[in-house]
Structure 1
Amino acid sequence: MNTTFSTTGLAQTAASTRRVFSPFRRYWGAFQEWRKERRKRQRERAELYRLNDWELMDMGMTRGEIEYVVSNRCTDPRRVRSTLR
């Protein structure tokens, strides 16, 4: 009885498995990043809602702008408002 195994079959299986799981890893990584950002936005939103109106005014923000600021962190709401005038 001959018990030799071919290593090329194993290499082909590993390569095809990598090709199948590569998109899954990318999607899983993107999902994890989205969850991390979502938790961060929730914490920011909670911290801003804990402030009173005077503290928000000191920062140049109203309570009605909290959702906008949290969802658009890269945009300064004061600059947007000044360009609309």
Structure 2
Amino acid sequence: MDPNLHQKMGINHLNRVLNYAPFVAEQGRATVHLTVEDWHVVADTLFRMHTPRELLPEAIESYRLKNENRTIELKTPDYVIDVEMM
């Protein structure tokens, strides 16, 4: 399956989150803020568009919504990353 433009944008945002997380991580946790629009693109990519796992960044072991669906939690081998809206 080839990702559509929306999914490509979401995957790009996920890669940027993963690259930025080490700079703000403390004790294995990081919080990264995205604009409302970018956060929704990521949420769509992960939860609404049935994006195949193999298209997502390899470092993401699991993901879920929390905080009443306002935070996306990404688990990687090194960090637990909360992705929040600004």
Which of structures 1 and 2 has the larger relative contact order (alpha carbons within 8 angstroms, sep 6+)?
2
- TM-score, normalised to structure 1, is 0.28
Greater Rg by CA = 1
More helix by share: 1
